[in-house]
Amino acid sequence: MSHRTGSLRFTLSGVLCLCLAPLCPPAKAQNPLVVIAPRGIRGVVEELLPAFERSTGQKVRAEFTSGGDVTARVLRGDPFDLVILHLPYPREIASGNIQADSARKLASAALGIAVRKDAPLPDIQTVDALRRTLLSVASIAVPGANGATAGPIFDEVLKKLGMTGQIKPKIRLVASGDAAMEMVAKGEAEIGLTYLSEMNQPGVTAAGPLPRDQPARTLRPRSDAERPVDVRADAGPPWFS
């Protein structure tokens, strides 16, 4: 099948280096495989791709954007070979632009909290500490507009904490993690919440991930050896294990 013709469109929430291989045309193919993915997984994808390209001879062009934009591109039928989606994705399946039976479970991306550079770091090490921090701040920038995925996950955290009514008035919804971090950097929000690998703007400091017993887990790609991928490069803070 020629590159991006017919129905050669795949979705995965599984490890990229394993699930790309069955898609590859013969080594040294002229056309790169096009992957679209949320920015929150950028660090892991960029770490895995060079080894994949060396071993297969197949070039890959990875495009990173907000989770909402990934969904929009799938629904529009934009050209791609593989897409990484946040669960659940019923609209994407209903669109007919991905093969539902091609899905592979990858991982979950950790949510965290950031503050303006040089501001005191809030204590979010435990559930009780997270509650105190959320109650103490005046405003929280959260990516939840235009289909961004961190906001709905944070809603689940608030429900589990029993704090939805108390915290909702403080939330400032924005279109992306970058926009949330920009609000924090400018002092327009006291804290910001997004995926840890999106906290790379110079004007913010990551306080860390949400407590592990909240529904925002560490990013752990699966392999035959179950080896965690340690992301400690420029792509984001080192809270992956």
DSSP letter string, 49-72: HHHHHHHH---EEEEEE-HHHHHH
pLDDT at residue 217 is higher than 60: no
The residue whose two tokens read 């920009």 is 182
pLDDT digits (tens, 9 = 90+) for 7-38: 334 443 323 223 333 344 444 456 898 999 88
Q: In order of start, what are the domains of the chain with their CATH numbers? A: 10-102 (3.40.190.10), 111-209 (3.40.190.10)
pLDDT value, residue 203:
95
User: What's the mean pLDDT in 147-160?
Assistant: 83
pLDDT digits (tens, 9 = 90+) for 64-86: 887 778 888 989 989 888 888 87
Helix (H) or strand (E) holding 73: helix 67-76
pTM, entire model = 0.64
User: What's the mean pLDDT in 123-130?
Assistant: 93
Secondary structure class of 208 (helix, strand, coil): strand
Secondary structure class of 109 (helix, strand, coil): coil
Q: Distance between CA 52 and CA 233 in Å, rounded?
A: 19
